[in-house]
Chains A and B, each alone.
Chain A
Amino acid sequence: MRRSFARHQTPFLLIAVLGLIALASALSDNDSVRVTLTEMFIRVTVVIGLYVFIGNSGIISFGQIGFMCIGAYAAAWATADPSFKQIMLSGLPAFLQDNQYPFLVAMAGSLVLPAAVALCLGAAIMRLSGTAASIATFAFLIIVNSVYSNWDSVTAGVSSIIGIPTVAGPWTTYIFAVLAVLAAYLFQISRFGLMLRATRDDEVAARASAVKILRMRLAAFVLSAAIVGAGGGLYAQFLGILTVDPFYLDLSFITIAMLVVGGMFSLTGAVTGVVVVTAIVELLRLLERGVPAGSITFALPQGSQEIGLGIVMALILIFRPSGLSKGREFAPFPAKPAEVASSPARLPLAGEPERATR
């Protein structure tokens, strides 16, 4: 039992840390703290979803937020008020329009629909080289945005879907974050995950065993989409109002930034990144609002938040490309090094020559 814990300590530790944060939020009376922390747990789910694909396959996907959009709308279609749906979303199939489903059904939908889309899309693009695949995911993001913005009968187009029951609070989102941690962990220690990671660093070797890599990447892509979609479902049922706007470049950037800052190649990195970047953004937001110092208020100009985050991201890429977690899992308890299920392959850091000719 002890050995088993030592071997798999990382997810438990992460869950515990997040649990402490959840506790802090429950104890706090401050509504805006609760809101911030709920959003943070949603982002933890989303960024873990990103990590499942990016961290294991080494391919950067700029489009996972597209799956968040799909998942969010799936949840909205399930739980929004039928009277609203019958007027505004007349394009929806009857079983959605006429009914209002409970939270878990909505969450199931927000897991399954993005996964299905990912299966189709992934089957097509996983054959591409890493760079080309990344571009394809970027295109996917734009396309989802375009389709959802224009498909008025099903998504209300550029107006909002309102009246979604807001049942997702800090504890609900915490639980889903925990589930995401477990799902991601189980994947990365599974055969699929380990094989995928081992070939991550060397695309040439990967292509030499083409077929298997395809399936593994696809598996990671689909699981990633499901987790990110679930994040979307939580988002819709946290906010109560849904539009297409948030699911675009800015959110894509922030979530990727969180993953990069924490460290792309470890689960610890994904979680750490969300917490740290949330803190940084909150700090910048505070500075934008203005900090009174004596008789003057010192305030950063509007928009510094975003530029500040961009600069932080660039600095991390230059000076600490493997992120705060350095690509390793958080495993402070003594265990034989080979036992701790962290990333097996050594990662080439950004400062090193990739190949002898470069």
Chain B
Amino acid sequence: MLVEVDDIHVRYGDLVALRGISLKVEESEVVCIIGPNGAGKSTTLAAIAGGVTPHAGTIRVGGQSILGQRPEQVARLGLSLVPEGRHIFGTLTVEENLRIGGYIQRDRAAAKADFDRLLELFPRLAERLRFPAGRLSGGEQQMLAVARAVMTRPRLLLVDEPSLGLAPKIIDQIYEILLDLRQRVKLTLLINEQSSTRILKHADRLYVLRGGRMQLEGRAADLQDGEAIRHAYFGFDEGQAARMETTA
């Protein structure tokens, strides 16, 4: 098992973000977390990547607990985060953005090789190497964010809402790239999304998060009709739905 999250609780001061989340990701899987805004999806990824520390529960990578480790340490274990909103370094050039990911490698030659290979995969970025990254379009920035994360040679890529603010065609491209990378460099993917339609096609397993709690988990194949997902997502239980019908 690559990553195992066990009953973590996360608080921002008095605000409780996660109330006992458990999930696991196996090698080579594509796992997706969906849920409405504010459900805690970003917090979950941030917790795994070391950006926030749960005050209860454990997170294990390859059997070892990584709780309390700093993000830069978690990155060195092979977990890389592509955060919501991209967070590219706007004042640095595209090339510098990419190189940052490579500094984790001791082996400079290997980092250079990665750099060249990524430029082949992302020709749009190759064309704009010297641009300040802030001048790229939304889709290009997302590609840069993904490429940059891949430079750290991750085993697991944590992608937070890759489709946010992007046109459908671009989103398709991004997903194509993610899945292509998964094949090429044996990447495992853990993706957050608000909407399930696109991801259901590609994911192996699905988690539904709402209100800081896991509402549903299952194999994507079993959840194709979307009924269970809708219930978990919107929070109606059978009883509630029935009561609403009788009072209507």
Q: Majority SS of interface residues in chain B?
A: loop
Question: A344 at interface (Cβ–Cβ under 8 A)?
Answer: no
Across the A-B interface, give the 8 residue pairs with the lowest CB-CB distance, nearest first.
Answer: A352-B13, A346-B14, A348-B13, A346-B13, A352-B12, A357-B87, A349-B13, A353-B12
Question: B229 at interface (Cβ–Cβ under 8 A)?
Answer: no
A353 near B14: Cβ-Cβ < 8 Å: no
Q: Chain A: which residue is nearest B13 at the CB level?
A: A352
Question: B178 at interface (Cβ–Cβ under 8 A)?
Answer: no
Question: B52 at interface (Cβ–Cβ under 8 A)?
Answer: yes
Chain B residues with CB under 8 A of A357: 87
User: For chains A and B in complex, what number of residue pairs have CB atoms within 8 angstroms?
Assistant: 11
Q: Mark A347-358, 1 if CB is under 8 A from B, else 0.
A: 011001100110
Q: Chain A: which residue is nearest B15 at the CB level?
A: A346
Within 8 A of B (CB), among A308-358: 346, 348-349, 352-353, 356-357
Q: Chain A: interface residue count, which band?
A: under 10
11 A-B interface contacts by CB (under 8 A): A346-B13, A346-B14, A348-B13, A349-B13, A352-B12, A352-B13, A353-B12, A353-B52, A356-B42, A356-B46, A357-B87
Q: Which B residues fall within an 8 A CB radius of A? A: 12-14, 42, 46, 52, 87
Q: Which A residues fall within an 8 A CB radius of B? A: 346, 348-349, 352-353, 356-357
Chain A residues with CB under 8 A of B13: 346, 348-349, 352
Chain B residues with CB under 8 A of A352: 12-13
Chain A residues with CB under 8 A of B87: 357
* Complexed CA–CA distance, A217 and B108 (Å): 54
* Complexed CA–CA distance, A356 and B12 (Å): 10
Q: Chain B: which residue is nearest A349 at the CB level?
A: B13
Shortest Cβ gap from A324 to chain B (Å): 20
* Complexed CA–CA distance, A139 and B12 (Å): 36
* Complexed CA–CA distance, A57 and B42 (Å): 32
Shortest Cβ gap from A204 to chain B (Å): 16
Q: Chain A: which residue is nearest B42 at the CB level?
A: A356
* Complexed CA–CA distance, A349 and B14 (Å): 11
* Complexed CA–CA distance, A71 and B42 (Å): 53
Q: Which of B13, B14, B87 has the most CB of A within 10 A?
A: B13
* Complexed CA–CA distance, A51 and B13 (Å): 24
* Complexed CA–CA distance, A349 and B87 (Å): 25
* Complexed CA–CA distance, A348 and B13 (Å): 7
* Complexed CA–CA distance, A346 and B42 (Å): 23
